Structure 1
Amino acid sequence: MSSVTNLFLVRHGQTEWNKEHRLQGHKNSPLTQKGKEQALNTKHALQGYEIHKAYVSPLQRAQDTLELIIDQRDIDVVISNNLKEINLGPWEGKTKPETLLSDPQQYHYFWQEQDKFNLAGAETYQQLQDRVVSELQAIFSKEKGKNILIVSHWIAIKAAVAYYKSTPLSDLSSLPDPKNGEYTILSELNTQIKKSG
């Protein structure tokens, strides 16, 4: 057994709502053709790795991305609610201009001062980070010495990366956004974040 546990965190491929700049949260929209191609690019990028198990958000865009990545590989898949995107409540399905009009203060916090974001009916960034990191820590503990594929979402992955890089949520906007189909490798023995994609 390897002494290193690797988690490959993949953001799902582009969706129709990504193209329209609509916030998705727990709602869903289908992968675009470009989104499917991004998933296939990730599949090819990961072909050199033995993947022992996969964990995936229950949201359809993540599951569709995972299916394209693993294709014919015989890999056990675990669906985890803790890997869902941030719950954005009343903002889900709305465009950026619509959310700005509905609550300019929370809009500013959402994009610029994430530690202060506290929209009624939505999750805070802290709540999101707590549940995602809790799941990743459980996976590290449970899957020692293995390569684990994880398909999740934009803010969920970014908040997790912030935790492992010791970046406070107040500085979250200083970190790059994970691109659709991009993966980040987290290692149990090395908290340095390696990006590829």
Structure 2
Amino acid sequence: MTTIYLIRHAEAEGNLYRIAQGQYNSLLTDRGARQVAALEQRFADIHVDAVYSSDLYRTCATAAAIYKPKGLELHRRTDLREICVGVWEQRTWGDIARADPEQMENFSLHPERWKVEGGEAPAAVLRRVRAAVEDIARKNVGRTVAVFSHGYAIRLLLADLQGYTLEQLAATPVGDNTAVSKLEVRDGKLEVVFRDDNSHLRTPEYLAGETKGKRANGLEPGLRFLPLCPAEQAAFLDRCVRETGMAVQPDGQALVGYLGEEPVGFLQMGTEQGRIALAYIQPEYRGRGFGVQLIGQAVRLTRETGGETVLVRPGDSAAFWSRYGFRPGTQADTLEKGIGFDPAYLALPPAEV
């Protein structure tokens, strides 16, 4: 019997910050790292002969839950990648939802209609991912393998194996990060034994690390961000200054986060590389998962300047920053978060396909 465990990558930056990450590389979050540990525990007593992964960073890092403790080689394949979303790549879902609501709806509910510039057709994604998994099955007859891929790609494949058409995709579930599906080859065909199981994320050990803060989910577009324009955003900025007691610096890197047409958040970067000078969400919008999206923009702006660390003086909001991976830094009264990529998941042998 040939058995394939098909596994979605752990929570990555795009999932948390509500940014379309498609085929761009992104780090795992702190929560993602805990999911990897839970996945490792789940597979501790399961025999696995080989491990395959898409060549993107977030899947390679997640695959470490199995290939490292079992002393196996990681086989990277480009044909296991997530869908390429073309001009949507690296844009916030809030921006996409406002700019192209029809295609945003199609992406989730009507993949057969989805089409954006530079994007990969869902039908083409299904063909390449199914061909990849079938090829892996042929190369591992009678063995047990783990295959790491991505949420949209996996959902397309599982739906197809269970007899759903593209037009029926919306009727199928969306698997959580690190959700495990089990496939078996029977009479030469792939069959789904179970899908999207996340029982390893419901253990007391894992749940003990969960925070009470609101987390973004795949159904919430979130904020869109525009450059600071004091003349157009004067009333909002005045409120920001009054409530924070801090001045807005019009000559620094600054973004205003909009929910629909209303400005609700503000991010000001300081002159020191990677330093957040001011992060503000209007009180009535707090606790809804928007603050972390400011962190996502700070990470993006810092990376664009070559920085690998984001810093902030937390004031009385240390609990918020700590929730998202900021730890005491080398500077007094400062928390910092590393955003550099681990070369162990980048400097691997060339992908097979």
Decide: shared fold, TM above 0.5. yes
3-state DSSP class of the match of 1:192?
strand
Aligned identity (percent) is 25
Residue 130 (1) aligns with residue 127 (2): yes
Aligned positions, number: 194
| Residue segments in structure 2 that go unaligned for 5+ positions in a row | 199-353
Task: Give the corresponding residue for 1:13.
Answer: 10
Q: CA deviation at 1:71?
A: 2.7
3-state DSSP class of the match of 2:94?
helix
CA distance in structure 2 between the partners assigned to 1:130 and 1:193 by the alignment: 21
Q: TM-score, normalised by structure 2?
A: 0.53
For residues 130-176 of structure 1, the C-alpha deviation after alignment (integer angstroms, 9 at most, x for no partner) is 00000011111111111101111100111110111011111111111
CA distance in structure 1 between the partners assigned to 2:39 and 2:123 by the alignment: 29
For residues 27-55 of structure 1, the C-alpha deviation after alignment (integer angstroms, 9 at most, x for no partner) is 12210111011111111111221110011
3-state DSSP class of the match of 2:191?
coil
Code of the aligned partner of 1:98: D
Alignment check: 8 A CA contact 1:165 1:193 kept:
no
CA distance in structure 2 between the partners assigned to 1:70 and 1:39 by the alignment: 12
Task: Give the corresponding residue for 1:63.
Answer: 60
Task: Give the corresponding residue for 2:343.
Answer: none
For residues 96-152 of structure 1, the C-alpha deviation after alignment (integer angstroms, 9 at most, x for no partner) is 221122222211211111111111210011010000000011111111111101111
Code of the aligned partner of 1:161: L
Q: CA deviation at 1:183?
A: 0.8
- 1:108-119 map, 5 Å: 108-119=105-116
CA distance in structure 2 between the partners assigned to 1:192 and 1:124 by the alignment: 24
Task: Give the corresponding residue for 1:165.
Answer: 162
CA RMSD, 1 decimal: 1.3
| Residue segments in structure 1 that go unaligned for 5+ positions in a row | none
CA distance in structure 1 between the partners assigned to 2:106 and 2:160 by the alignment: 19
Task: Give the corresponding residue for 1:101.
Answer: 98
Please list every run of at least 4 consecutive aligned residues from structure 1 whose deviation after the TM superposition is greater than 2 angstroms: 68-72
Alignment check: 8 A CA contact 2:54 2:148 kept:
yes
Q: TM-score, normalised by structure 1?
A: 0.94
CA distance in structure 2 between the partners assigned to 1:193 and 1:114 by the alignment: 25
Alignment check: 8 A CA contact 1:162 1:172 kept:
yes
Alignment check: 8 A CA contact 1:17 1:23 kept:
yes
CA distance in structure 1 between the partners assigned to 2:36 and 2:161 by the alignment: 25
Residue 26 (1) aligns with residue 23 (2): yes
Alignment check: 8 A CA contact 1:57 1:80 kept:
yes
Code of the aligned partner of 2:66: I
CA distance in structure 2 between the partners assigned to 1:59 and 1:114 by the alignment: 23
Q: CA deviation at 1:70?
A: 2.8
Alignment check: 8 A CA contact 1:11 1:179 kept:
yes
Structure 1 residues 70 and 77: alpha-carbon distance in aligned structure 2, compared to 1, 3 A threshold: closer
CA distance in structure 2 between the partners assigned to 1:193 and 1:86 by the alignment: 25
Alignment check: 8 A CA contact 1:161 1:193 kept:
no
Alignment check: 8 A CA contact 2:11 2:31 kept:
yes
Instruction: Report the structure, 1 or 2, having the larger strand content.
Output: 2
Residue 175 (1) aligns with residue 172 (2): yes
Instruction: Report the structure, 1 or 2, having the larger helix content.
Output: 1
Code of the aligned partner of 1:193: V
Task: Give the corresponding residue for 1:75.
Answer: 72
CA distance in structure 1 between the partners assigned to 2:5 and 2:90 by the alignment: 28
CA distance in structure 2 between the partners assigned to 1:109 and 1:72 by the alignment: 41
- Relative contact order: is structure 1 or structure 2 higher (C-alpha 8 Å, sep ≥ 6)? 1
CA distance in structure 2 between the partners assigned to 1:172 and 1:185 by the alignment: 19
